Amino acid sequence: MKDLNFYHYFLLPLTSIHFSKIIEIPFTFKDNQLIGNFKVKRLDHKVGEGIWSWISNPKTISKEKDNLNKQNMTNNDILRRIRYTFDFSDFQMIALFKLANYEVEQAEVCDWLKKDNDPLFTEMTDKELAIFLNGLIIEKRGKREGPVPEPEDPLSNNMILRKMKIALDMKTDDILDLFALIDKKISKHELSAFFRHPDNKSYEPCMDQYLRNFFTALQKKYKDLNPKNISK
Is residue 53 within 8 A of residue 83, CB to CB? The reply is: no
Report the distance separating Cα 169 and Cα 81, nearest Å: 19
Report the distance separating Cα 232 and Cα 225, nearest Å: 12
What is the model's pTM? 0.70
Is residue 178 within 8 A of residue 215, CB to CB? The reply is: no
pLDDT value of residue 229: 57
Alpha helices in the chain (DSSP H): 58-71, 75-86, 90-99, 106-113, 126-141, 157-167, 172-181, 188-194, 208-219, 227-230
pLDDT value of residue 223: 83
pLDDT value of residue 144: 86
pLDDT value of residue 159: 97
Contacts 24+ apart (CB under 8 A), 25-31: 26/68, 26/71, 26/72, 26/207, 26/208, 28/64, 28/68, 30/60, 30/64, 31/60
- Give how far Cα 107 sits from Cα of 91, 112, 189, 217, Å: 11, 9, 42, 29
| Cβ within 8 Å of residue 173, ≥6 positions away | none
pLDDT value of residue 11: 34
Report the distance separating Cα 212 and Cα 232, nearest Å: 26
Report the distance separating Cα 66 and Cα 60, nearest Å: 10
**CB environment 160-182: b (16+ within 10 A), e (fewer):** bbebbbebbebeeeebbebbebe
Is residue 37 within 8 A of residue 2, CB to CB? The reply is: no
* Per-residue pLDDT of the chain in tens (232 residues, 90 and over written 9): 544 333 333 333 333 333 333 334 444 444 444 444 433 333 333 333 333 333 334 444 444 444 444 458 899 999 999 999 999 999 999 999 999 999 999 999 999 999 999 999 999 999 999 999 999 999 999 988 888 889 999 999 999 999 999 999 999 999 999 999 999 989 999 999 999 999 999 999 999 999 999 999 999 999 876 656 544 4
The string of DSSP codes covering 38-64 is: BEES---EEEPTTS------HHHHHHH
pLDDT value of residue 145: 85
